[in-house]
Structure 1
């Protein structure tokens, strides 16, 4: 199994130092400054459970010059990236570069072919030597949301070929109920309920990498195209529309990060008191019997993130 560990997730943020300070102060994450390749620069890396968030500025060559904030790539931990790459190649996952290059803190890394990994930019990287995470409001990364064009291809790449366990699959659907009434001065009122009509939905697959999951989200009702309204709580139809627009504009790829907390409503209330703009002021139902709450990207320097509270089953 190649994906037994998730070394880090690379995030592009509009203000690296301010974002790092925010994650330390308001989320209780521990910061380690790591050397970036052979550039002589350093980047803040924040421990989250057994993984980490690495922060970079727009246009940084380490994240391929990505010009806009968001998630850029993941790095699967491998003690020997060359041997892991050979295993991946034997299973049908090719390499995007011939030789490993220095990554964070000198750890060698190799990029897998994005075409073979369902659009998720995935490196094989030697593990990072980071300090122990602090005990705070955030327990770990719950999952990384992936805007998917084909969940079956994603499962084939990460589960069948790379050996990452398929944790679960589900369908999220929003339906509309229409009730007709027939009112007569002689016969009274009769109500008739029509069959439920789907107005938006997502096919979801969770694949385990390290101590979190990749959440592949594929829209399946192209009739629904609801703009995301940041001034009111989200819903399944909005989620589906957001995924559809992301894939249409950028192609499949990493979409958002979700952090696991013990009390989502308490955590959201604490962030609201600190001035964060919330898409969901209280937790709403999410996948895997969770309560979720999205934070507006403008409060996180362009990164889409939500909190998750859910039971272990």
Structure 2
């Protein structure tokens, strides 16, 4: 058992110093039929598939809460227009919370059962989440969505830590901005807006309306980060309440983040790089295994395992 544990740590250590990127093709196939979805209206179609790669869950879309007054999701859900959504994503890119805006190159993909593809999407470790949306048309304010799907696998020994090809079901959500109850209901503004929820009743009946496949193409691992962080040490590790990060001077270290293994950010520290050693208090963290991420001014990063007892 001890040998297995040491092997796991060695495999992890072989990758923690490098920034990784992966490339995927994203293909969505829609499913719309009278058997599962009560009926299919005339001119059934979908708005252009749009989305983004981003850093934090629910930054673009959150189920169970009222949509913000910004109109990106509202406009897609009601009319299929992506202009405001693209603007909001670009604002997120400027603030460092998103990496790229995604949209299929042609629009719309027509027909009740059809497909769309966004090819060659590059994703990096800092922005591993992907959100995709498209209007169910015609409808009051319904849309299909993939919300903050994490493309990281947590296994750095396979695909440099990226998920292999996989397919998932996609469901329909009500944006909470129009109270129409059927595909072709007239405009009936919901004021105030209500939470974004899955359409479980008629006519959708809670059934899936698409599948999406993320096809893994390749990944790269840059070892340039090794030279930046090679002298940094973290001790003691495991720790009970505090640990020290040493030799940080001249690394341009700017930020320390501690994540749970489920990807939840547990602690953030802004670094004054004039110091050489930094003591970090983790007495408020529960016992367990965490990921310690060090980032410098050039956005290079190092991630390693941290054990709190």
Q: TM-score range by the shorter chain?
A: under 0.3
Q: Structure 2 length as normaliser, TM-score?
A: 0.22
Which structure shows the higher helix fraction? 1
Larger relative contact order, structure 1 or 2 (CA cutoff 8 Å, min sep 6): 2
Q: Structure 1 length as normaliser, TM-score?
A: 0.22
